[in-house]
Chain A
């Protein structure tokens, strides 16, 4: 709001005062929201670091296992075993609310399978393939967990950023401009009052009494 758009009237002054009060209240609330979100974020960050470590470790184990299986059994045998696995791991997504941010809660079912449930038959394959399947099931579990945490983190980061923008816009743009306008109107009204007084004095002096 540029200063020249401000009309120096008393009603305008009152409405600007009201807007300043409102902006300040909003500013305080948003500031608290930002701090709360950052606190939540710290908690999630800790979890994220842990899940990252687990993921990395399981990934390395799984890649070693499959390389071994490929060497021992041959790539075709591994593929054949892989394509006879029928049980698909299902994931269910529910949502949770952290300070107005909707974050997913992912749950997986039937990731871990017993030897018999895998479906590739026990006679045709060696234990190397079982170990590989086991390693990848572990990895998949870690991935599901990491997915939940990373999505949560992304959403929280987005929310933190918008909240931060709002707080800063209020603090450095909206409130200073309104204050400036209020001061301008006050000065202008005082000035008009003084002019009026002076005019009255002049008239009084001129009139014969």
Chain B
């Protein structure tokens, strides 16, 4: 399986340098949405890498799909805001806020 990267052009070029083939440079929200949909359709992709800054611009419905998606697994890197969802889920499932 492969890794896919969606994000700003600077961000994805770096991953291209590391050898990732499926890179999608999304500058505006419309493109972001389209590329994410394309990645979700692709059976070959096992991990989707995004910047948490971009994740905040995704419409809420798509965002929850991404957060619950297991294949591909979505990894958001960058600032910490993206962690809230997982933290909420831990709180809901275990009953205690265990994150930090």
Q: Taking beta carbons and an 8 Å cutoff, which residues of A are in contact with B?
A: 38, 41-42, 45, 49, 52, 55-56, 59, 62-63, 65-67, 70, 75, 78-79, 81-83, 85-93, 106, 110-111, 113, 118, 129, 132-133, 135-137, 139-140, 143-144, 146-147, 150-151, 153-155, 157-158, 160-161, 164
Contacts and interface: CB of A to CB of B under 8 A. Distances in A.
Interface in B62-78: 68, 70, 73, 75, 77-78
A22 B52 CA distance: 48
B70 A129 contact: no
Indicate the member of B13, B17, B47 with the most A CB atoms within 10 Å.
B17
Q: Is the interface of A mostly helix, strand, loop or mixed?
A: helix
B20 A88 contact: yes
Contacts of A150: 73, 75, 86
B46 A91 contact: yes
A111 B18 contact: yes
Q: Is the interface of B mostly helix, strand, loop or mixed?
A: mixed
7 contacts: A78-B13, A79-B16, A91-B1, A132-B14, A147-B75, A160-B94, A161-B92
B38 interface: no
Interface in B23-37: none
Contact of B14 (A52, A66, A157, A161): A66
Nearest to A130: B17
